[in-house]
Structure 1
């Protein structure tokens, strides 16, 4: 007899008698997807511009993504928000980024409804919707959607992947990570890579392997159960990390420079039909150096940086190909709806000259050509945190102007590939319907025949703000449903409406022409002036790349569109406009724990992320570690806050207590004890005492005096002529008993675990001297 089932919330349809022989059972109906429901796979690339994939005209080889395009569709009118987390929130919720509280990345939240960093639960994720409809749900790779203050072991975890509808997660919570030494999380706990770089570890390879394993785990049990996978590479965000042989494939291919790249890519785009034949290539950007005016050394260095980027992208494509082949091997490819997108245009975070350490850019530390040339053979390897210069950024967004963080099309127009062999008849075609990342969720729901729910986990849902693109799948002439779309990113604004685009650049059309750099604040009076004179207007039906400003001749239209921008801004919580850049990162935000002057940490616990770690930059502080040194001595790290891009480490090497400081790889400083460590239980301390002023504009934190102590007795002293002013670096979380991830100092291999026993560590930012606090420290540590 067939099992009788009933839906949750309905009456029990069986019979309950006094005994089983006069009763009939019925079972709660399992949550099953409809028969034949397709899998859904989002492949999200990071910082990939419109002109960087082979199938969008780039000279970089991306055969596997090209094959998806040949088997499906390429859209040439897809738009993002111009920044990573805001775009990702859109592609998972179908709502605009300010509706999601993500005007900026969570590190730049400012405490207004459109910018508090907390995606509302009434804006349900696609994962939450599909989970309700019988799907397995997996997130792999970059997340960056949890408020940064909530990314520690203290939680809360309700905005981590498993709190937003994903059943499994493997990846990293932040905005970028080292590809060789990533900061990994499995579900709700930190984990370490299974191999070292010397053993061949690379994050992309790891993510693909974990993705395949997740899919196989479920498919071998329930082959008919569909999955939704949100697969987000760390590539192509800096650091551009790839094994040398991949970069070497491109030796010499970029020696003719970024303008040559633009011209060749532009010609190829026209040949492919990915851009209209009447498109005019945007101008050479004033912020980009003239390739022919560069020295031989500069050209050599910058060409190599691009070779590394190209090798990194081809490497990424190769492993995406392995994931696609795995789906084919399982027989799942034909019925998988695949969407490939980048989160914004190519990134300008490498600055005008590129860098071997991106952390220099965030600390205003100028680049040193001689040092960078000396590092040229190691660029792309685990030693550096490298990024290319603005010239390659601009070239990567061909044919458009500008880049990530700005709302010209260079920042907002991205590759978008849709492939679903069983569901889309058209193959290898191009679509030009206007689209925005908020359209991905409604498109998936439309294709799957699923209605957006009105309630998720008891929370009434807000309306989805995007539009389905499904009508364009097999009809190239289907009318665009998305007629109006606002843009705002750190004061840079624009509006699309029915084929026209109004843009108000900030601080101007370029930094050179504006006479100001990124992050210049907009006052109320300045905003009034911008609204009167700062807007540009483009007719995209005739001017695909925004090269002919019609603001003067179409003044009435422009005025109407400016007003329309404010209507959209009011509708979606865009105001207030805040153009500050990295200054926003310094905003005070609610913390799980109250700020304090003393922090106690324990060995064997999860790394404490830098955003909830003690603030030790430019202020007096001491760190004391209660440890036991066995007979015969010990070595290893007692306490660390750093990685190979910057930070400090307190460790024992060659029997001596050592303080090491990495000034953004520009300089390394060491202070050692004058005598070997004694055996037994002791308190090992260092005191950091500022000795001069801070010069943030020139990338210099306070100089300092370092004193080393054993049980309050001075055993060593030294000077730091300069320290890091703003950000220790990506890996600068608190770790006790080891230096996990990339090594802070070059004279040991991570994790360099302490071989003795550590009981506790105390970070003291009261500024009191260690020799006066020794007994107090001993008592404080004993009580914790």
Structure 2
């Protein structure tokens, strides 16, 4: 609709669309026909599937010669060693993920079909990528209700198996276990939130027939980062970004256009350097080398152990060279601090869930201490723009004018999976607290 509106109202003006699908973030849900298609598709387990996917990636030329399949992450059991009930639950959770992904692919297809209908497909730059690696938030077993994970509530497979047939449907809020997450990150190790390749290495597909010419369908292996997308689009459109806009100084463009890769060249990456930081996990890529560390929240950053990989020849980070090349490691660590200071990463902050909502950040417009008064009529409010109720005591006072027998909802927040509601029913005031059901 956005594209049709744009072309209809201003056919002389190009359009820009950022389509951020919910997939495949939890909850993993899909129409029943998609779920049925994948029944039994992953019963062989994540070890066999991961090996099959790696072999297929190699056949397609997605990895440089010599790339290894990283070992299982700590906490990921060998599939054949798992109890049968754990296997059944894990396989069904992966089925829901796959169904969700294919359903999303169909929606991308609808978007492409619309470009075809408009006669704009060949002259439109289409870029498809993920925002990070596969999620570790399902824990070692997977979860029927992801919010339990974020609240430190352990849900065992023996408990979840009773709801097996609900997985992927509208009444579930599932996420898959670590084993399937690492399979999704094949051939890498670790996950989303980490700064190892399993957290930050994702594919990028570029489609632009009029701009790519005869190189369509070819592979490129140069290193690039998401901050390179904007300068690539600017270059392709022949636009020089302004230093000021509306009298306000603009942040400088930090990325490097990857337009040079469109010409069919195999020259080295022009990127140069890229830092990473997420919840205290840190990493830096510099001319084919990478230093990276995992951080335990609440501990000193000085105690973190840095690893060193020559990812130009070891992209799956299987051979740690920190002990044998301390000079290179020290060079990269020093450069990380320089890049972190340059790009506003400092001071380091390893809080995660505490910063999940904007109200917990400095200068939040919705501090937890604020008192709110809601007067009808009022539009629905996002929870982050409303009163802070989670993990604390609160008072809720409602002034209601009603006739005998009249009912209705006074206040509600959350979802079917977890939330609260105040409502009047049968002349009684009801408080419903749905705590992770």
TM-score range relative to shorter protein: over 0.9
Which residue number corresponds to residue 471 of structure 1?
Answer: 260
Superposition map of 1:605-754 within 5 A: 605-617=378-390, 619-631=392-404, 633-665=405-437
Which residue number corresponds to residue 360 of structure 1?
Answer: 148
Distance of aligned partners of 1:653 and 1:565 in 2 relative to their CA distance in 1, 3 Å threshold: same
CA contact (8 A) 1:522 1:578 kept: no
Distance of aligned partners of 1:217 and 1:498 in 2 relative to their CA distance in 1, 3 Å threshold: same
- Helix, strand or coil at the partner of 2:284: strand
How far did 1:594 drift? Answer: 7.3
Q: TM-score, normalised by structure 2?
A: 0.94
Greater relative contact order: 1 or 2 (C-alpha under 8 angstroms, separation 6 or more)?
A: 1
2:17 to 210, 229, 247: 229
How far did 1:618 drift? Answer: 5.4
Larger radius of gyration: 1
**CA deviation digits over 1:455-475, x for unaligned, max 9?**
212112232111111111022
Superposition map of 1:53-452 within 5 A: 213-425=1-213, 426-452=215-241
Distance of aligned partners of 1:540 and 1:598 in 2 relative to their CA distance in 1, 3 Å threshold: closer
- Helix, strand or coil at the partner of 1:238: coil
Which residue number corresponds to residue 521 of structure 1?
Answer: 298
CA contact (8 A) 2:94 2:180 kept: yes
CA contact (8 A) 2:141 2:156 kept: no
Q: TM-score, normalised by structure 1?
A: 0.53
Matched residue pairs, number? 434
Distance of aligned partners of 1:506 and 1:622 in 2 relative to their CA distance in 1, 3 Å threshold: closer
How far did 1:235 drift? Answer: 0.9
1:599 to 372, 387, 390: 372
**CA deviation digits over 1:521-547, x for unaligned, max 9?**
232xxx3343xxx11111122212110
How far did 1:273 drift? Answer: 0.1
Which residue number corresponds to residue 69 of structure 1?
Answer: none
Which residue number corresponds to residue 536 of structure 1?
Answer: 307
What stretches of structure 1 of length at least 5 have no aligned partner?
A: 1-212, 508-519, 666-784
How far did 1:229 drift? Answer: 0.7
Greater fraction helix: 2
Moved over 6 A (4+): none
Root mean square deviation of aligned Cα = 2.0
How far did 1:381 drift? Answer: 1.7
What stretches of structure 2 of length at least 5 have no aligned partner?
A: none
How far did 1:366 drift? Answer: 1.1
How far did 1:549 drift? Answer: 0.7
Distance of aligned partners of 1:360 and 1:537 in 2 relative to their CA distance in 1, 3 Å threshold: same
How far did 1:421 drift? Answer: 0.5
Q: Does 1:557 align with 2:328?
A: yes
Cα distance in 1 between the residues matched to 2:372 and 2:260: 57
Cα distance in 2 between the residues matched to 1:232 and 1:618: 30
Cα distance in 2 between the residues matched to 1:594 and 1:617: 13
Greater fraction strand: 1
Cα distance in 2 between the residues matched to 1:335 and 1:473: 15
CA contact (8 A) 1:538 1:548 kept: yes
CA contact (8 A) 1:247 1:309 kept: no
**CA deviation digits over 1:549-572, x for unaligned, max 9?**
111211211122111212222222
Distance of aligned partners of 1:594 and 1:353 in 2 relative to their CA distance in 1, 3 Å threshold: closer
How far did 1:291 drift? Answer: 1.7
Q: Does 1:545 align with 2:316?
A: yes
CA contact (8 A) 2:368 2:388 kept: no
Cα distance in 2 between the residues matched to 1:593 and 1:284: 42
Cα distance in 1 between the residues matched to 2:24 and 2:98: 10
- Helix, strand or coil at the partner of 2:350: coil
How far did 1:221 drift? Answer: 4.0
**CA deviation digits over 1:141-181, x for unaligned, max 9?**
xxxxxxxxxxxxxxxxxxxxxxxxxxxxxxxxxxxxxxxxx
**CA deviation digits over 1:233-292, x for unaligned, max 9?**
111111111112101111111111111121011000100000123111000111213322
CA contact (8 A) 1:637 1:649 kept: yes
**CA deviation digits over 1:80-122, x for unaligned, max 9?**
xxxxxxxxxxxxxxxxxxxxxxxxxxxxxxxxxxxxxxxxxxx
Which residue number corresponds to residue 14 of structure 1?
Answer: none
Cα distance in 2 between the residues matched to 1:583 and 1:494: 23
